[in-house]
Amino acid sequence: MPDPIAIATTRDGLRAICATLRDGGHSLALVPTMGALHAGHLALVAEARRRADRVIVSVFVNPTQFAPHEDFDRYPRRLDADATMLAEAGADLVYAPDAASIYPPGDSTQVHVSGVSEPFEGSFRPHFFGGVASVVARLLIHAAPDVAVFGEKDFQQLAVIRRMTLDLGLPVAIVGAPTVREEDGLALSSRNAYLDPAQRAVAAILPATMLAMRDALRRGADAGEAEATARAALIAAGFGPVDYCSAARADTLEPVLTGAVAPGDFGNTRLLFAAWLGSTRLIDNCGLDG
């Protein structure tokens, strides 16, 4: 059994421990999460350990990225289990800030990233990326890591964070790590816990449909037709509504609405999916070249 991991619950506490972690010139990596950790998060921790000497994992269910009707209240919270997993994974510190460390009383500062945050998630969850950018900017400023690791599972989020980091000149390298999946292809997600067994069985149809769309596009299918086929397959399987199941330029997130994708563009094309299964919303994505 590894020793229990240190947990900082305030911004000042974090800064004091970060100074100690940096003693001797050690580099720091940060892995931001909302907790309820699974193997996808632990893969980010492993990547962080490859990139830096010391690893901090933040656990904060960020209220500003949830709309009032969304699942902030029922989002799973299990800090003790998370801390045990992180100790075993070789992380050095958990930052589980109290709300006032992130949003001091009277807080009036939001970070808004335009462009890349507007389509897809941005149009279905208009509050979302403002909340994400506002919390990630604060976490990066508090921990001042050399490297921060994010999952490609949230591909548009990664693009928004890269844009924000560039624009604000934050001195941190942003690293994306591949999506970790269940054996049947379902991307690991803390929200998978909401699925009942019947829904869980159906859930794997989402990545299967995405891969079928990828294969069709690689064979030269029209993007609009491939999207319609994918949407119909998801609806037939019991998903609904399907928020999007589209091809997009990987760098700008600009949707590819019609026409075949040229083989030379496969590397810069991403398929982005979001669909509801009962009261659970699943998202996924993949490249056209992988």
CA distance 237 to 4: 44
Q: Assess 246 for contact with ligand AMP (CB under 6 A).
A: no
Q: Assess 82 for contact with ligand AMP (CB under 6 A).
A: no
Q: Least distance from C-beta 35 to ligand AMP, angstroms? A: 6
Question: Kindly report the CA angle at 36 between 174 and 235, in degrees rounded to 5?
Answer: 85
CA 212 to centroid of chain Cα atoms: 23
User: Residue 187 CB: number of other CB atoms within 10 A?
Assistant: 25
Quick one: tokens of 7?
Answer: 């947990």
Binder of ligand AMP out of 150, 239, 244, 273 (CB under 6 A):
150
Q: Least distance from C-beta 200 to ligand AMP, angstroms? A: 15
Q: Assess 189 for contact with ligand AMP (CB under 6 A).
A: yes
CA distance 56 to 145: 9
Catalytic residue among 26, 38, 41, 142: 41
CA distance 128 to 63: 10
* Closest by Cα among 11, 13, 53 to 30: 53
**Sites for ligand AMP among residues 24-53 (CB under 6 A):** 33-34, 40-41, 43-44
Of the candidate spans 6-14, 186-194, 205-213, 224-232, the one that interacts with ligand AMP by CB under 6 A turns out to be 186-194
Please say if 69 is a catalytic residue: no
Q: Which is nearer to ligand AMP, 5 or 37 (CB)?
A: 37
Binder of ligand AMP out of 190, 209, 280, 285 (CB under 6 A):
190
CA distance 45 to 31: 7
User: Which residues make up the interface to ligand AMP (CB under 6 A)?
Assistant: 33-34, 40-41, 43-44, 150-151, 153-154, 177, 179-180, 187-190
